[in-house]
């Protein structure tokens, strides 16, 4: 069944003052749950000043450093997950101190393993360059099956854990490369082929059915069941 076309008849535009100060940090965190908890700490400590909160898995940074020109590891040691955090304010002072206070509180709570705060426009741009190149720098690693998934914010950590487990069970060795907008639950869930796999054969899997009797978490259906309706009966959806 095809959805009926929608016609937009009105729109509302909300304007915000141009920020006078911006602070950007690249943060190593132990898990998506820690990243989400850190975002809550930052919003509480800064009065909701966070305007960007990007979640990035370590493997995406490895691809960027390996294949991206002039891309460097943002921190001195690797971490399982990262947050690219940006704060904005209409005030011209106090934002740096608020960010440092929030990061210190996050570290005390075990949410922050390490962090680098941009000291210059060039360093800020290098942080953003890493993020912006992520889709392109997956290509040298082979075939990638890409999805844009919208997840309720509180369920992002659960979704990522269940999706990774389901992918490994279906295609052992496949490499999930999730990154995206933690602040609104929009995740780019890309799955890169196993090392050494045939690219064409791997990409052909995206049109295959799920094995009969395979148990699928309900949160993963959007990425694991792009199937015609008759095929859905081959798998059990686990709620």
Output the tens digit of pLDDT for each of the chain's 239 residues.
455 666 777 777 766 667 789 999 999 999 999 999 999 999 999 999 999 999 999 999 999 999 998 899 999 999 999 999 999 998 878 899 999 999 999 999 999 999 999 999 999 999 999 999 999 999 999 999 999 999 899 999 999 999 999 999 989 999 999 999 998 999 999 999 999 999 998 888 765 444 444 444 555 555 554 433 333 333 333 33
> Is the CB of residue 171 less than 8 Å from the CB of residue 195?
no
> Is the CB of residue 193 less than 8 Å from the CB of residue 141?
yes
| Alpha-carbon gap, residue 213 to 233, rounded angstroms | 9
> Is the CB of residue 188 less than 8 Å from the CB of residue 147?
yes
> Is the CB of residue 163 less than 8 Å from the CB of residue 189?
yes
Supply the pTM of this predicted model. 0.81
Half-sphere exposure of 64 (CA within 13 A, CB side): 23
| Alpha-carbon gap, residue 153 to 226, rounded angstroms | 23
Which of 121, 112, 93, 146 lies closest to 42, judged by CA?
Answer: 112
Those residues whose C-beta lies under 8 Å from the C-beta of residue 196, and which sit 6 or more positions away, are none
């Amino acid at each position: 069944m095809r959805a009926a076309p929608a016609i937009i008849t009105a729109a509302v535009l909300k304007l915000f003052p141009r920020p006078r100060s911006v602070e950007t940090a690249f943060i190593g965190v132990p898990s998506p749950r820690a990243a989400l908890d850190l975002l809550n700490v930052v919003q509480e400590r800064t009065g909701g000043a966070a305007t960007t909160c990007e979640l990035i898995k370590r493997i995406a940074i490895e691809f960027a450093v390996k294949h991206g020109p002039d891309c460097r590891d943002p921190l001195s040691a690797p971490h399982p997950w990262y947050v690219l955090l940006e704060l904005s304010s209409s005030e011209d002072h106090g934002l740096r101190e608020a960010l440092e206070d929030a990061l210190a509180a996050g570290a005390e709570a075990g949410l922050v393993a390490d962090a680098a705060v941009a000291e210059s426009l060039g360093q800020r741009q290098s942080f953003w360059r890493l993020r912006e190149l992520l889709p392109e720098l997956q290509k040298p690693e082979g075939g990638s099956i890409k999805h844009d998934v919208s997840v309720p914010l509180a369920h992002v950590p659960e979704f990522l854990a269940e999706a990774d487990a389901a992918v490994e069970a279906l295609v052992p060795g496949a490499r999930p490369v999730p990154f995206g907008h933690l602040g609104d639950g929009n995740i780019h869930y890309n799955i890169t082929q196993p090392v050494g796999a045939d690219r064409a054969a791997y990409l052909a899997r995206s049109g295959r059915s799920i094995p009969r009797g395979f148990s699928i978490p309900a949160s993963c259906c959007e990425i694991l069941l792009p199937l015609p309706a008759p095929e859905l009966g081959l798998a059990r959806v686990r709620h």
